[in-house]
Amino acid sequence: MPRFTDKTVIVTGAAGALGAGMVRRFAAEDARVVVGARRREQVTALLDELGTDRAVFAQLDVTSEQDWTAAIATAEAAFGPVSVLVNNAARAIVGTTMSLTPDEFREVIDTNLVGTFLGTRAAVPSMRRRGGGSIVNINSTAGIGTAAGLAAYGTSKWGIRGLTRISAKELGRDNIRVNGVHPGIIETPLAYDPATGELIVGIDDQPIPRLADVDEISSLVLFVASDDAGYSTGAEFVADGGYLLGPVPAAKP
């Protein structure tokens, strides 16, 4: 049975591989999806694939309050009040505390943490009109462990972790759940250093020594967003191939 019939879902960062994958999965389960991206041409093929009865575009720079106001208005006009918000848009700049410039640090914080804050603020009144809702913040193993060399990204994800738990406590009596999903390294461009083309974090010594597939992470997000996880709020759902467990010891000869 489809889990999102008659539900309005907003997915940010829909131009990326994970965002597009989640949009497709929500649409396949009968949701009406607002496809959030900075520019329409980034998601034209996705919109054409799904059709206007299933998906609409919202021009959404997640750091802009005006864009968020417009996105919620677009959602309500097309499909009705918002039931699900997936805060997925993300920015990563490789660099240490000492090598990053202040502007680079702010750019990552503004997209990842402030963008999540603004999205939550914008969506909650619509969810209240609906009678409740579900917010899923896409986090990272960098929001639970340490991420040397990703000082801004890791800091932003730790901030999202706190915001998720605080929002969950504040919004629970409104029948609005807020949870975090912490993927490991997914097979997307974000997994690679744009300067070298190498993986940002190694996977060879983790218990499941491979990258995550977009569809398996999307499956987890849909579960967390759905009523199947209706008693979970402020929770952290990890899908990292065992990365946070530490490296697998080398086999003895």
Q: What is the CATH number of the domain that holds 226?
A: 3.40.50.720
pLDDT (tens digit per residue) in 32-42: 999 999 999 99
pLDDT (tens digit per residue) in 76-132: 999 999 999 999 999 999 899 999 999 999 999 999 999 999 999 999 999 999 999
Q: Is 13 contained in some domain?
A: yes
Q: Is 249 contained in some domain?
A: no
> Minimal CA–CA distance to 171: which of 138, 131, 140?
131
The domain tally of the chain equals: 1
Q: Is 30 contained in some domain?
A: yes
Q: Is 248 contained in some domain?
A: no
> Minimal CA–CA distance to 153: which of 129, 145, 86?
145
Q: Look up 243 and say whether it is catalytic.
A: no
Q: Is 122 contained in some domain?
A: yes
* Token couple for 201: 């974090």
Q: Is 1 contained in some domain?
A: no
Chain mean pLDDT for the chain: 95
* Token couple for 20: 């597009």
Residue 79 to residue 74: CA distance in whole angstroms:
8
Full domain range(s) for residue 153: 8-237
Which residue among 153, 192, 231, 243 is the active-site one? 153
Tokens 């409740």 found at: 132
Residue 200 to residue 125: CA distance in whole angstroms:
38
> Minimal CA–CA distance to 46: which of 98, 11, 75, 74?
11
Please tell me whether the overall predicted TM-score, pTM, comes out greater than 0.85 for this model: yes
